[in-house]
Amino acid sequence: MGHDAAVRDAILIILLYEKLGKYLRKALFTRILVSVACVLTFDQAGFFTALHFVTGAPVAVFFGGWFAKMAAALVYSTMLVGYIRWFEARQVPAARGLSDIFDTLTYRERYEALVEHVGRDGLTGLLHRGRFDSDGEAAVAASLRTARALSLLIIDVDHFKSINDRFGHAEGDKVLKALAILLGELVGTEDQLFRIGGEEFAILGWRPQPLARLLGETVRQAVKTSASTSRFDITVSAGISTVSETTRCLADLFALADQRLYKAKSTGRDRVVGEPGGNEADARNTWTRPERSAGA
């Protein structure tokens, strides 16, 4: 019975330790101490409750045992932190990236971090094309089911190839990173922001066409304003589509936004093209996507 209780306590300490990682990631000693102290307090409360009903033990018994367990928790936490910093860190290869012994035991925190990282673009940190395909399809289905307006904006950096050709890919990467940060500051809390390839970004937002157009213009103006303080004269073009009777899957929604993006490119760049005359179907049937060279 005592062995089972010890195993239970150890598991509870590890689980609580993991949960505290969101708030005390760098405070290793505090994190361990709080985890151990909470579990031992819970044990002491349970033990005293049973003892009180059986023998009528006074409250002083609870506090006497509790103080002893808190002292033990303090000593244990100090010894464990010392072990982790002086012994464990030397024995665990740095390439494994383990921050402490509980990561060695459970791997859960690193697993959760890996899951989050896998869905993101390595350069900008934005959600990548794979996430766009999966999340976008789910969002379109939800829009059709709930009749809630969903719009897609595809944003492309104008003449991006010339930046790479003149200044090198390292400078081009800096431009993309800066644009990702700017877009992140402009999108709403319910919007999803993706890098879907090269210099192309996508925003999926729960908003009707007029508000999506307003966001597109806000992005376009913000990029021009930020470019005035950098070494590059950067502009962007954007195409917008909204879920409707003619765009009932992500492929249709993307194709229409992509057509409008290329129309923005072919009619002068630095502009946003959305629904013309309130009829997206007409736009799809009367406008053919032109060919463009890389980095347009």
Tell me which residues are annotated as active site. 199
Measured CA to CA, the distance from residue 176 to residue 178 in angstroms comes to 5
Which is nearest to 137 in space by CA: 248, 280, 6?
248
Residues paired with 204 in a beta bridge: 152, 192
Q: How far from each other are the two terminal CA atoms of the chain, in whole angstroms?
A: 72
Measured CA to CA, the distance from residue 233 to residue 158 in angstroms comes to 10
- The region that residue 295 occupies, defined by phi over 0 for left and psi between -120 and 50 for alpha, beta otherwise, is left
Q: Give the DSSP H/E element, type plus range, for residue 6.
A: helix 2-24
Measured CA to CA, the distance from residue 155 to residue 164 in angstroms comes to 18
Number of CB atoms found within 10 A of residue 184's CB: 13
Residues paired with 194 in a beta bridge: 127, 202
